[in-house]
Amino acid sequence: MASTTTAQTPAVRKLWGGRFTGKNDPLMEKFNASISFDSRFYKADIVGSQAYAKALALKKIITDDEASKLHEGLDKVLAEWESNSFVIQDGDEDIHTANERRLGEIIGTSISGKLHTGRSRNDQVATDFRIWVRDEGRKLVVVLKELIAAAVVRAENEIDVIMPGYTHLQRAQPIRWSHLILAHAWSWHADCQRLEQLLDRMNQLPLGSGALAGNPFQIDRDFLAKELGFDRLMPNSLYGVSDRDFVAEFLFWASLTMVHISRFSEDLIIYSTGEFGFVQLADAYSTGSSLMPQKKNPDSLELLRGKSGRVFGGMTGFMMAYKGTPSTYNKDLQEDKEPVFDAYDTLMGSLQITTGVLSTLTIRPERMLASMSIDMLATDLAEYLVRKGVPFRETHHISGEAVRLAEERKCTMADLSLADFKSLHPSFEEDVTKVWNFEQSIENRCTPGGTSRATVQAQIDSLKAFLQ
């Protein structure tokens, strides 16, 4: 966002001030103003005004020469924003007021005053907001795909690394490290799809709705939609000025995406502890302790985990404001922008940090392998008997007895003799020893979505196709 300075100017006339004779309380002026945050709309506001000037000229409400002067003047206003030289004046209560005031200073109010014909700040801000979320949302799609790409590269390069898989944070079954990374990548894939669907769904034009009842000058809304890159028109003017469902959807999307980043962070935080030691974060994404020299703290991951709550809080705050608004525009809707801006900034930073963490961390396959235990193959033992024709509910119980027997003997199941196994069920044979193979256990999970080498590679190929 362009930075600005603020200057005082005498007797700035408000866009809505004709009916009023008394002055506002200075505190109310500040309370009412939104320029401090909606100035982020400066480009969307100017582009929307340029398209509207063309639409006015098409209906002969202004001349082509006036439309040209409006367009050129707005280009100059945009250049000031882009060069950080735009000066916000007292009385510029929002981005629309500021841009129109500056346009009048550049080309004269006799022409600039015609720009707002038939238009309200109600349909103007709704249009600006949709343009901004749509265009900035596409940037989030790009960085989200970069994160998925980093996961795909890592998964393909480290496909042969095996590790314990966990349920309830208890060792459960052997899996590939790549399978774990891809589990998170598929969450991010769903996030990407949701965002793209949201951006498509919200790409409807409110402009031409007026304050609430529509535009009285037969403005060509289809022309405006094409000029501004909208796919469809908002079909009802009351709906057009008041709908903020796209804000709720964006904030929900941001919250859910941050939940996925938080869960990924939690996995890595756990696996980077001394008790696990499966991964080690790069120094670039870690910090030390002010007291304990040996500490290497995963602060990047903890911040990512914490920021998920921040984004979720913004969503719930907006929903509480949105739920009580009656039909059409109400000033409560001024509270829709800051949580979106904050969520956008948080997501943009968080996605890039997550990509950096994932791309640079070091894995320790030897620690992963050392954490594997024979009891993780108890299900494989049950499946061995299933292949001998024994019902699974019975084999599950038999395998559990084998686990108990090994615990009593203070050994592993692999240390039990064939006679021990036959005492549990006569179907056990010499080939039971083949069960005690972690790699084979993994390869047995070869149905689509499983953790075998071929099925993990299929996931990688699928995500590659998505990214292309």
What distances in angstroms separate CA 272 from CA 266, 295, 325, 400, one per listed residue? 10, 12, 47, 32
**233: helix, strand or coil:** strand
* % of the chain exceeding 90 in pLDDT: 89
What CATH number should be reported for the domain whose range is 23-117?
Answer: 1.10.275.10
| Cα dihedral value 256, 261, 264, 268, nearest 10 | -150
The secondary element (H helix, E strand) that includes residue 192 is helix 177-201
Confirm if 18 and 49 have CB atoms less than 8 A apart.
no
* Catalytic status, residue 397: no
| Domain extent listing, the chain | 23-117, 122-370, 374-467
Q: Which helix (H) or strand (E) holds 363?
A: strand 362-363
Q: Do domains 23-117 and 374-467 have the same CATH topology?
A: no
For residue 134, how far is the Cα from the chain centroid?
Answer: 13
The pairing of strands 232-233 and 279-280 is unpaired
Which of these CATH numbers, 1.20.200.10, 2.40.50.140, 3.90.1150.10, 2.20.28.10, describes 122-370? Answer: 1.20.200.10
Structure tokens at 419: 């006679």
The amino acid at residue 402 is A
State phi, psi for 362 to the nearest 5 degrees.
-105, 135
Q: Which of 289, 327, 373, 397 is catalytic?
A: 289
Q: Read out DSSP for 65-83?
A: HHHHHHHHHHHHHHHHHHT
From 3, 168, 290, 417, the catalytic residue = 168
One CATH from 3.30.1330.40, 1.10.40.30, 1.10.3720.10, 1.20.210.10 for 374-467: 1.10.40.30
> What is the full per-residue pLDDT of the chain (468 aa) written as tens digits?
444 444 444 445 555 455 545 566 788 888 888 899 999 999 999 999 999 999 999 999 999 999 999 999 999 999 999 999 999 998 899 999 999 999 999 999 999 999 999 999 999 999 999 999 999 999 999 999 999 999 999 999 999 999 999 999 999 999 999 999 999 999 999 999 999 999 999 999 999 999 999 999 999 999 999 999 999 999 999 999 999 999 999 999 999 999 999 999 999 999 999 999 999 999 998 876 666 766 688 899 999 999 999 999 999 999 999 999 999 999 999 999 999 999 999 999 999 999 999 999 999 999 999 999 999 999 999 999 999 999 999 999 999 999 999 999 999 999 999 999 999 999 999 999 999 999 999 999 999 999 999 999 999 999 999 999
Q: Does the annotation count 441 as an active-site position?
A: no
- Residue 318 to residue 304: CA distance in whole angstroms: 22
